[in-house]
Amino acid sequence: MTSIWRNLRSGLIGAGALTLAAAMPASAEKTITAVMHSGLRVMDPVITTAHITRDNAFMIFDTLVALDADFNVQPQMASFEVSEDGLSYTFTLRDGLKWHDGGEVTPADCIASIKRWMVRDGGGQMINDRLESLEATGDKSFVLKLKEPFPYTLEAMAKPSGLALFMMPERIASTPADTAITEMIGSGPFKFVADEFQPGVKVVYVKNEEYVPASGPRSWFSGAKEVLVDRVEWVTMPDAQTSLNALINDEIDFMEAMPVDLLPLIDGMENVESKVLSPLGGVTIGRMNFLHPPFDNKKIRQAALMALSQQDVLTAMMGNPDYFKVCGAIFGCDTPFEFTDGSDTLTSGGDPEGAKKLLEEAGYDGTPVVLMQPTDVGSLTAQPIVAAQALRAAGFEVDMQPMDWQTLVTRRASQAKPSEGGWNMFFTNWIVPEVSNPLANIMLNGRGDKAWFGWPSDPDMEALLAEFAAAPDMDSQKAVAEKLQAHAMDNVSYIHLGQYFNPSAWSTKLSGIEPAPFPVFWGIDKAE
């Protein structure tokens, strides 16, 4: 047992999570058993943008403000007021907020949480660039004051992903932003049960009996987070057919990622329902490491982009074209910033011969591309295989290294040379709301070591992001977003490989499941 896990367990036992779990007779418990898209090992939602880490955090922690289904910012833990000059944001905590260990939520806790988040998140970094002060003004209030207006402030604090701003007790939030936290103590609707946690295998949550839901109707991540069951268990089943059999046989209740090719097996079944819950879907992307050869060379990055085809990747990934869309817009199709500048090669089927010519011009010397391949997440297994084939056809040497997703999530944070445990390329997925706004799209961060994994140093990108942040209206923002798209494609900030729509499946015993960018478990009931 690692020291981190030992600390995590002891911290939660001390918080009384186990007492609550043990006091509840097993026979009386109403439990939802779910198979999520991945097992959980990396716990800190500031250290990584991994979706399973974010999903775990939403169970345990809460947010100051939240987005509703119309992308409006709503009060969650706190109400807010913005001064007429746009410089001061006053937050007032609502009544009844307690940490899972019994302590009261204070402004000091929130201030420490915001400061830690601002180190890692792109939007948070832009707020920090303009920050004059962040200070408590009372027992339940604090003020964030800027030196110049930043209209995206509340949206950045409310975004649900990549990185969401979760509130933590001050002692936890004071952990350096590059060091993983060792306690899962939040103020959210569920408590994490440390004694039943099996990293990568099983996660257990129990209802937080002292949680006071926010007022207002439930809408995405805002409003009343009312828990209607006693327990939620996430169990890991890497094989989709095994998961589906368990769902059909009432051994599990919810399957987050239902492979499209298995949908016919449940067609007409009365005890199972399936639907795409995220109407905007997701995007799949390839990210390269800018620190090491060969992708420290822009022309070689362009060759890799030219070699790949969205149609090939999406077909291998989803199969049925009803569940994917070839889409050249890095901010997503059917969004306000839908532009396609520079994406013609990807959307028309790739150009291996053109990629070969670029490699020759760049003087590519055969340096192997260490391509990390996750083997246990169905929505991420096909991309590396298709990419490896396309890159080899273009003249790249490819060293594809298989590993489970949580190992990849850990390894991608390493800046070591690829030959010494680092990497050159990996693939991942995002929900469209994570990339639909240039300031939310963490892959556009060009701040070198402070950027997202891959660490590009791109002053031109940062200048464009600042221009976007200062744009006074939507027309001006669209003009800058189009320039951002063109620059991102030219510099190959990442390889945008199209849009997909993954269905989920669940037992008809469950009620209250509503469309959202990713699954949440408040508001869901289970019939016995």
- pLDDT tens digits, residue range 471-497? 988 999 999 999 999 999 999 999 999
What's the whole-number mean pLDDT along residues 114-131? 95
Confirm if 505 and 266 have CB atoms less than 8 A apart.
yes
pLDDT of residue 25: 45
Residue 334, Ramachandran bin (φ over 0: left; ψ between -120 and 50: alpha; else beta): left
Confirm if 449 and 414 have CB atoms less than 8 A apart.
no
HSE of 153 in the Cβ direction (CA atoms, 13 Å)?
A: 25
Cross-strand bridge partners of residue 369: 398
Residue 11 pLDDT > 70, yes or no? no
Residue 10 pLDDT > 80, yes or no? no
- pLDDT tens digits, residue range 395-446? 999 999 999 998 999 999 999 999 999 999 999 999 998 899 999 899 999 9
pLDDT of residue 28: 64
pLDDT of residue 3: 36
Residue 275 pLDDT > 70, yes or no? yes
Residue 284 pLDDT > 70, yes or no? yes
Strand spans (E) along 13-54: 31-35
Q: DSSP state, 207?
A: E
Interatomic CA distance for residues 496 and 332, integer angstroms: 9
Q: Is 481 exposed, middle or buried (0-12, 13-18, 19+ CB in 10 A)?
A: buried
What's the whole-number mean pLDDT along residues 184-209? 96
Confirm if 527 and 253 have CB atoms less than 8 A apart.
no
What's the whole-number mean pLDDT along residues 268-283? 92
Interatomic CA distance for residues 207 and 181, integer angstroms: 22
Longest distance between any two alpha carbons in the chain, whole Å: 70
Coil vs helix vs strand at 347:
helix
Whole-prediction pTM: 0.86
What's the whole-number mean pLDDT along residues 451-465? 97
- pLDDT tens digits, residue range 150-169? 999 999 999 998 899 999 99
Q: Hey, what's the torsion of the CAs at 12, 13, 16, 17, to 10 degrees?
A: 60
pLDDT of residue 15: 39
- pLDDT tens digits, residue range 487-527? 999 999 999 999 999 999 999 999 999 999 999 999 999 99
pLDDT of residue 95: 94
What's the whole-number mean pLDDT along residues 8-27? 40
What's the whole-number mean pLDDT along residues 246-255? 96
Residue 85 pLDDT > 80, yes or no? yes
pLDDT of residue 5: 39
HSE of 346 in the Cβ direction (CA atoms, 13 Å)?
A: 29
Q: Which residues of 327-355 are buried (b: 16+ CB within 10 A; e: fewer)?
A: bbbbbbbebebbbbbbbebbbeebbbeeb
Q: Which pairing describes strands 398-403 and 510-511: parallel, antiparallel, or unpaired?
A: unpaired
What's the whole-number mean pLDDT along residues 286-299? 98
Mean pLDDT is highest, among 71-75, 203-207, 238-242, 278-282, for 203-207
pLDDT of residue 21: 39
Q: How confident is the model at residue 9 (pLDDT cuts 50, 70, 90)?
A: very low
- pLDDT tens digits, residue range 310-334? 999 999 999 999 999 999 999 999 8
Q: How confident is the model at residue 528 (pLDDT cuts 50, 70, 90)?
A: confident
| Domains annotated on the chain, with CATH | 282-500 (3.10.105.10)
Query: What angle is formed at CA 381 by the lines to CA 408 and CA 450, rounded to 5 degrees?
Result: 35
DSSP assignment string, 229-291: SSEEEEE----HHHHHHHHHTTS-SEES---GGGGGGGTT-SSEEEE---TT-EEEEEEE-SS
Confirm if 509 and 253 have CB atoms less than 8 A apart.
yes
Query: What angle is formed at CA 306 by the lines to CA 285 and CA 393, rounded to 5 degrees?
Result: 100
The token pair at 435 is 């990339």
Residue 20 pLDDT > 70, yes or no? no
Interatomic CA distance for residues 516 and 276, integer angstroms: 10
Confirm if 187 and 170 have CB atoms less than 8 A apart.
no
Q: Which pairing describes strands 65-67 and 254-255: parallel, antiparallel, or unpaired?
A: unpaired
Residue 17 pLDDT > 80, yes or no? no
Helix 459-470 × helix 122-129 angle, to 10° = 70
Question: Mean pLDDT of all residues in the chain?
Answer: 92
The token pair at 315 is 């077909």
